[in-house]
Structures are given as structure tokens and as C-alpha cells.
């Protein structure tokens, strides 16, 4: 018997107030590549519910840069390059892809010159709010997201590039089907990668959905409250 019930999988790893505070964030990641010397190519991927989400992508998106003490150094204003739908991957021949699910991806890319400083650089992007269909968050409509990465000083690692995820998890699957997903990443430098489970970070809120920047590196970046299904 073919199963008909499907589950929407949400990927975590985050203007006008009435519009910007609405739910839309599904997930995202941020990573960087050293292109030589002090030159870096910074990539921010943001995934959005394009059917139930009520807010558009940021244009521009603001990636804030901090030093090791959490002091703000600069903002990278990155224009929206457009977005593309994330195609579903159907592994079960009985699965009929539901018409009421839509996820799209926007890939922001910025170039930055970051001379080596003691302690390196911290980069963060914050946005509220998360997709309202998320079931295991206490208050998804008031829970934003923070996407964060760290660039070490070059006296420790010369021209380092960060790892990035290889694949995007399936958007839907039949209820009862096992989820076997390779969540591995690739490091351009060939560094050894160590994996661990952690709580995703929140950031921003319905009252301040698109902050100019966090007041400090750690302001508002706390684990979200997850409830057991």
C-alpha cells in the first residue's frame, strides 16, 4: 500500500515591520573561501518557504564582522542575486509530491579583504522568523536564526577556507520511511573534520526581525527551545 502522508523536513545548521517579521526562514549556512592573501569569498545560503512564508528575501542581506572580543568591525551588504526552487528528491515510488510545499534557495556571495588580526574574525547573519510549520519549536513565529562562521588569524592558519555541506536534506518523505541522510561536509584545504550534534542558534525576534547588526557577537545568539515530538 502506498503511503500518502508526507512530512516536511526543515533544515536548520537565520524594512517594513509588518512584512519582515512574518515567517519564512527554513534554514541556511554560511562559509568562506580564501582566494589568496587577505582576500575572502563569503557565501551565505538562505532557504525560504516560498508557499507559506510571508516575507521576501533580504535585499541586501547584512553579514556583520566582529573581532575576537565581539566588537563590531564592519558590515558586508550583499545584494540579492535572485532565488531558485529546491527540487524534491523522490526516493519512494509511492510518494506523490504534495502541491502545497515549496522551498527556494538564495545564495549571497560577497568579497572581503580581511587582514590578519589577533584572534581572527567572527561573521554572523541574523534573521527572524522561522517557518510557521515547524512543529518542534516552542514559538517558531518569534524565533529567528543566526548563521555564523569563524576565520582564524593567519598566524595560526594561513589562507584558511571553511568546510561546506555537500547535500541538502530531502524536503519530503513518506511517514514511516527511514531517513538516511549524509550530512557530511567538504573542506577545501583537506583538513580533518569532526562532527557533533548541537542546538541551533536563535537570533533577532518578531519585534526586531532584521537587526542592523547584533549589538555584540553573542547578543541574541542563544540555543533555541526545542520540544520533543
Taking only the tens place, the pLDDT of each residue in 103-160 is 999 999 999 999 999 999 999 998 888 876 777 777 777 778 889 999 999 989 999 9
Spatial separation of the C-alpha atoms in residues 150 and 207, rounded to whole Å: 28
Spatial separation of the C-alpha atoms in residues 32 and 168, rounded to whole Å: 18
Taking only the tens place, the pLDDT of each residue in 37-78 is 999 999 999 999 888 777 889 999 999 999 988 888 999 999
Taking only the tens place, the pLDDT of each residue in 12-46 is 332 223 334 457 888 899 999 999 999 999 999 99
Burial of 190 from C-beta contacts in 10 A (0-12 / 13-18 / 19+): exposed
Q: Cell for 68?
A: 575576537
Please, what is the average pLDDT of the chain?
A: 80
Rounded alpha-carbon distances, angstroms, from residue 38 to 114, 115, 149, 210: 5, 5, 17, 29
* Residues listed for the chain: 229
| This prediction's pTM | 0.83
Spatial separation of the C-alpha atoms in residues 121 and 30, rounded to whole Å: 14
- The residue ranges of every structural domain in the chain are 6-186
User: Sorting pLDDT into bands at 50, 70 and 90, what band is 223?
Assistant: low
Amino acid at each position: 500500500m502506498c503511503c500518502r502522508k508526507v512530512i516536511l523536513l526543515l533544515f536548520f545548521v537565520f524594512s517594513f515591520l509588518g512584512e519582515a517579521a512574518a515567517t519564512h526562514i527554513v534554514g541556511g549556512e554560511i562559509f568562506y573561501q580564501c582566494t589568496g592573501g587577505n582576500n575572502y569569498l563569503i557565501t551565505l545560503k538562505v532557504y525560504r518557504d516560498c508557499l507559506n512564508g510571508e516575507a521576501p528575501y533580504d535585499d541586501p542581506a547584512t553579514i556583520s564582522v566582529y573581532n575576537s572580543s565581539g566588537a563590531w568591525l564592519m558590515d558586508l551588504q550583499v545584494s540579492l542575486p535572485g532565488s531558485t526552487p529546491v527540487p524534491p528528491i523522490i526516493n519512494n515510488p509511492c510518494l506523490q509530491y504534495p502541491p502545497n510545499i515549496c522551498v527556494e534557495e538564495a545564495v549571497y556571495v560577497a568579497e572581503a579583504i580581511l587582514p590578519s588580526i589577533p584572534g581572527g574574525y567572527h561573521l554572523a547573519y541574523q534573521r527572524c522568523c522561522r517557518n510557521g510549520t515547524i512543529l518542534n519549536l516552542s514559538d517558531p513565529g518569534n524565533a529567528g536564526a543566526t548563521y555564523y562562521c569563524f576565520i582564524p588569524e593567519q598566524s595560526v592558519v594561513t589562507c584558511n577556507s571553511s568546510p561546506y555541506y555537500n547535500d541538502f536534506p530531502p524536503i519530503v518523505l513518506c511517514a514511516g520511511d527511514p531517513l538516511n541522510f549524509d550530512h557530511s561536509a567538504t573542506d577545501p584545504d583537506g583538513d580533518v573534520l569532526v562532527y557533533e550534534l548541537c542546538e541551533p542558534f536563535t537570533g533577532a525576534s518578531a519585534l526586531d526581525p532584521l537587526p542592523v547588526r547584533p549589538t555584540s557577537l553573542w547578543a541574541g545568539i542563544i540555543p533555541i527551545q526545542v520540544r520533543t515530538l
